[in-house]
Structure 1
Amino acid sequence: MLSFKEIVSVTLILFSVIDVVGSLPVIIDLRKKAGKIESERATFASGVLMISFLFVGEKILKLFGVDVQSFAVAGALIIFLIGLEMILGRTIFKSEETSGGATHIVPIAFPLIAGAGTLTTIISLRAEYQTLNIVIGIVLNLVLIYVVLKSSGWLETRLGSGGLAVLRKIFGIILLAIAIKLFKTNLIPGL
């Protein structure tokens, strides 16, 4: 069932986890190294990964004998660590650097946008939200991702390093709160 409240919640949760604004320093650095970012291809590849995982992710889990609630708790742990990374300014998850060619897919589409945290969150969201609302939330995020990728140069000059740091910390706190909610909902049902 279509729910505006669920769509807004999913959109905000995914926006916080994807943290495309917090990833601007990495995107700007990649743009300088590669000469340009293929915004359309990066956005499309991210969308394919996220929507595919939404529909087949649970089947993959069943193949390994893992239920969605357990995966949601694991996802909450990853979201918690990503939030800590953003707030403390420390790197917990290391991303692999690549050179040339596939700048739009690696590392932008995966793991920067549709990385482990995002895919885990998408599966975790299935435990609480309707699939249609999640798809709409993903599409809205893809629009935001495309806009940010397209305007990364303009955003760099407008926000400055201080503005980017503040945004990163705000989204880090939001992620910690989301992680705690997922822990409560899936680890201790009935709270």
Structure 2
Amino acid sequence: MKLDPKEILSVSLILFSIIDILGSIPIILNIRKKTGEIHAERTTLVSGLLMFGYLYLGTQILALFGVDVSSFAVAGAIILLLMGFEMILGREIFKHNPTTGARSSSIVPLAFPIIAGAGTMTSLLSLKAAYHVESIIIGILINLVLVYAVLKSSKWLEKKISAASIEVLQKVFGLILLAIAIKLIKENLFVLG
């Protein structure tokens, strides 16, 4: 099969808009502030494993537990909803264990549900029906490189963005996160009902 650059670009842009790593910068900086560190390598690796797992085994894994994609999307949306409230209200909902600290926050909530959450899973399952798997694999890899670059530069970003700007960005992106969560819940509750 010959790789189609247009198809790869389309898949990459769709995943980029769903993952929204640039929009997640306030969340990343908030986690960095709480834990003191972001493990870019671990988060990128786990996110990649989740994405490839969704691509190849997504529907089978959910079926094994008797869960459909819509139920999974609602569960992920509830986590996003709580994170949005946390960002807007300035209250800690997700408690960070000081013994695991940055290690666990690299997985939850960064790798899942921020980077490779329910939206990413449903998108990958939809993309699989419309595009060649090779194009999707390349699109995932391109996005993982971008995710790694943003996570790795979190210390630099924290220095460049003022505390007041971070707080404003947190409130704005918290509201956007709430809107995305509500949209996911609304779309998938309709499917469930």
TM-score (norm 2): 0.70
Give the direction of change, closer, same or farther, for the CA distance of 1:177–1:38 in structure 2 (3 Å limit): closer
Question: Does residue 164 of structure 1 match 2:169?
Answer: no
Question: Does residue 22 of structure 1 match 2:27?
Answer: yes
Residue aligning to 2:148: 146
Structure 1 position 3, deviation (Å)? 8.2
Q: Which runs of 5+ in 1 are unaligned?
A: 32-36
> What SS does the aligned partner of 1:115 have?
helix
Structure 1 position 2, deviation (Å)? 3.8
Residue aligning to 1:178: 180
CA contact (8 A) 1:80 1:176 kept: yes
Structure 1 position 62, deviation (Å)? 0.6
What residue identity is the alignment partner of 1:109?
S
Question: Does residue 113 of structure 1 match 2:110?
Answer: yes
- Matches of 2:175 and 2:106, distance apart in 1: 24
CA contact (8 A) 2:12 2:139 kept: yes
Question: Does residue 123 of structure 1 match 2:125?
Answer: no
Structure 1 position 140, deviation (Å)? 4.5
Structure 1 position 114, deviation (Å)? 1.1
Residue aligning to 2:84: 83
Bigger Cα displacement from structure 2, 129-138 vs 89-98: 129-138
CA contact (8 A) 2:54 2:124 kept: no
> Deviations 1:146-177 (Å, cap 9, x if unpaired)?
22233233212210211222222222222222
Residue aligning to 1:34: none
> What SS does the aligned partner of 1:73 have?
helix
> How many percent of aligned residue pairs carry the same amino acid?
42
Structure 1 position 55, deviation (Å)? 3.0
Q: Which runs of 5+ in 2 are unaligned?
A: 1-5
Give the direction of change, closer, same or farther, for the CA distance of 1:164–1:139 in structure 2 (3 Å limit): farther
Aligned residues: 179
Give the direction of change, closer, same or farther, for the CA distance of 1:187–1:88 in structure 2 (3 Å limit): same
CA contact (8 A) 2:26 2:169 kept: yes
> What SS does the aligned partner of 1:130 have?
helix
